[in-house]
């Protein structure tokens, strides 16, 4: 199996002259991934992708995504601004989040975003009020909590009744009636998002069934057919095998919705994939500082830490690690960072090519929720993000 990073000798040689740690984004793989998504969405009438910007906001990455014709799903005013700066048309931006500040609502209205995904009645009232004061009409979708679980880590399920997100399914008639009576609100859609790193299509079938039930019920109760259904994101990637499966199974994902979700004539179906778009194209490149033989274990101490990639510490996440500059026989190590926290561990009892000081290591599949979650804890500088265009 070809290693997409390690076998690119020219690239690895270039890496040697860049200060570590840093993120590297393979924009050729990103473009292929975007094309694979388009090939599938083009097969179905009314399907449209809004990339979930929170996964990665590196400007070059955003610029490839907007050039591919995708919209953007934002969860903060800062993300809206980053998307506008990267060239996304405001009319292609949607805005979700349980706690939108007034200035963020104003920014969205001023820019003229496509719609707000509203998560509560108090939020709806404030958007109506702010839109009124700006003499504008806000397009709103309601984020609905479908009470559908996802077979994923407890910290990344979002669609259960116990989660803070969305409005209960039972309350929809009341909320839609409220919106219909508001002067500065235009009700345009229903929004859902059940979690992240979902690989079992059954979860998306369950979501489709809930949406079908809700649409049937709303129609029976005399409500208008909504313009857009938005099913959020959540499709997972193969963290264990980034070289075998660099591009997620988008066909299975979109075909699941095509088969199970009953769209009404003229209705648009919006998707908000984040991880599946960018995870596999990104790697965190780090240097081995020391190999330390402790009583019971051998440690590879690298110059990247949980401040650069927090997923292992936060979610117990697995990232494949390659030693890019050694082909020596494999040895077993704990790969750890320099941060003063015991959870600053990338992998335990991990087999990689025998490693020495100065070797370059790659933490693979780090394009999503990697660089953007970096912090400056321990007064560290934020990692930079480079693409092939920057380096070669
Ligand atoms: C995070 C998020 C997404 C993207 O999730 P992925 O698992 O990265 O695809 C989509 N929609 C909303 C509302 C989100 O909060």
Pocket of ligand 1 contains residue 75 by CB under 6 Å: yes
- CATH code for position 39: 3.20.20.10
239 within 8 A of 320, measured Cβ to Cβ:
yes
For residue 166, how far is its CA from the centre of ligand 1 (angstroms)? 13
18 & 32 share domain:
no
Atom of ligand 1 nearest to the CA of 54: 1
Single out the residue in 277, 301, 324 at which a domain terminates.
277
Q: 236 lies in a domain?
A: yes
pLDDT band per the 50, 70, 90 thresholds, residue 147: confident
186 domain-assigned: yes
Which residue CA neighbors atom 11 of ligand 1 most closely?
Answer: 232
Whether 61 is in a domain gets the answer: yes
Does residue 142 belong to any structural domain of this protein?
yes
- Confidence (pLDDT) at 126: 98
Which residues lie closer than 8 Å to 369 by C-beta, 6 or more apart? 54, 55, 56, 274, 275, 279, 311
96 lines ligand 1 (CB under 6 A): yes
3 assigned to some structural domain = no
The whole-model pTM stands at: 0.95
Q: Are residues 172 and 297 in the same domain?
A: no
Confirm whether 4 is domain-assigned: no
pLDDT tens for 34-73 read 999 999 999 999 999 999 999 999 999 999 999 999 999 9
Domain check: are 265 and 322 in the same one? Answer: no
With a 6 A CB cut-off, is 49 part of the ligand 1 pocket? no
Ligand 1 neighbourhood includes 320 CB (under 6 angstroms)? no
Any ligand 1 atom below 6 A from CB of 52: yes
Same domain, 74 and 141: yes
> Is the beta carbon of 233 within 6 A of some atom in ligand 1?
yes
Whether residue 68 lies inside any domain: the answer is yes
234 and 376, same domain (yes or no): no
Question: 302 or 1: whose pLDDT is higher?
Answer: 302
As a whole number, the mean pLDDT across the chain is 95
Q: 230 C-alpha vs ligand 1 centroid, how far in Å?
A: 11
Does 257 score more than 60 pLDDT?
yes
Q: Where is the domain boundary, 221, 248, 277?
A: 277
Q: What CATH number is attached to the domain comprising 298?
A: 2.40.37.10
**Quick one: 90 and 127 in the same domain?**
yes
Q: What percent of the chain has pLDDT over 70?
A: 96
Domains of the chain: total: 2
**Whether residue 196 has its Cβ less than 6 Å from ligand 1:** yes
Q: Are residues 300 and 238 both part of a single domain?
A: no
Q: What is the pLDDT of residues 77-131, one digit of tens each?
A: 999 999 999 999 999 999 999 999 999 999 999 999 999 999 999 999 999 999 9
Q: Which atom of ligand 1 is nearest to the CA of 272?
A: 10
Ligand 1 site-directed mutation target among 93, 98, 272, 275, most atoms within 8 Å of CB: 272
Question: Is the domain of 105 the same as that of 227?
Answer: yes
Q: Are residues 104 and 204 in the same domain?
A: yes
CB of 159 closer than 6 A to ligand 1? no
The residue among 230, 245, 277 that closes a domain is 277
Residues 6+ apart with CB under 8 A from 156: 150, 195, 196, 197, 315
333 CA to centre of ligand 1 in angstroms: 34
Cα of 115 from ligand 1 centre, angstroms: 16
Query: Is position 93 within any domain?
Result: yes
Which residue lies with its CA nearest to atom 3 of ligand 1?
233
Decide: 232 in ligand 1 pocket, CB within 6 A.
Answer: yes
Let me know whether 80 and 213 are in one domain.
yes
Are residues 142 and 286 both part of a single domain? no
Q: Which domain holds residue 367?
A: 9-22+280-391
Q: Which atom of ligand 1 is nearest to the CA of 191?
A: 13
Verify that 16 and 53 share a domain, yes or no: no
């Amino acid at each position: 199996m070809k290693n997409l990073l390690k076998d690119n000798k020219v690239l690895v040689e270039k890496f040697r002259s860049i200060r570590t740690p840093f993120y590297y984004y393979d924009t050729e793989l990103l473009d292929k991934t975007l094309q694979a998504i388009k090939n599938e969405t083009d097969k179905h009438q009314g399907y449209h992708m809004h990339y979930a910007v929170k996964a990665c906001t590196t400007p070059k990455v955003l610029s490839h995504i907007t050039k591919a014709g995708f919209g953007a799903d934002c969860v903060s005013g800062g993300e809206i601004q980053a998307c506008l700066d990267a060239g996304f048309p405001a009319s292609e931006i949607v805005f979700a989040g349980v706690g939108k500040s007034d200035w963020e609502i104003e920014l969205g209205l001023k820019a003229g975003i496509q719609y707000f995904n509203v998560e509560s009645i108090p939020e709806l009232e404030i958007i109506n009020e702010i839109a009124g004061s700006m003499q504008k009409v806000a397009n709103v979708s309601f984020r609905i909590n479908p009470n559908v679980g996802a077979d994923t880590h407890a910290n990344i399920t979002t669609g259960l009744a116990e989660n803070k997100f969305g409005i209960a399914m039972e309350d929809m008639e009341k909320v839609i009636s409220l919106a219909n009576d508001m002067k500065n609100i235009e009700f345009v859609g229903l929004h859902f998002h059940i979690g992240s790193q979902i690989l079992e299509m059954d979860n998306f079938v369950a979501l489709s069934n809930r949406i079908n039930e809700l649409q049937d019920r709303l129609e029976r109760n005399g409500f208008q057919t909504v313009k857009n259904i938005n099913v959020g994101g959540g499709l997972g990637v193969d963290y264990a095998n980034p070289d075998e499966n660099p591009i997620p199974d988008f066909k299975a994902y979109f075909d699941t919705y095509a088969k199970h979700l009953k769209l009404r004539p003229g209705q648009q179906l919006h998707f908000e994939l984040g991880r599946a778009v960018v995870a596999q194209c990104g790697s965190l490149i780090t240097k081995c500082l020391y190999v330390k033989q402790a009583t019971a274990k051998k440690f590879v101490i690298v110059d990247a830490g949980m401040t650069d990639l927090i997923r292992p510490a936060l979610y117990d996440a697995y990232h494949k690690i390659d030693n890019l500059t050694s082909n020596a026989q494999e040895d077993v190590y704990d790969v750890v960072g320099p941060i003063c926290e015991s959870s600053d561990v990338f992998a335990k009892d991990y087999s990689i090519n025998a490693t020495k000081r100065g070797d370059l290591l790659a933490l693979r599949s780090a394009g999503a929720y990697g660089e953007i979650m970096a912090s400056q804890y321990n007064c560290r500088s934020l990692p930079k993000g480079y693409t092939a265009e920057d380096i070669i």
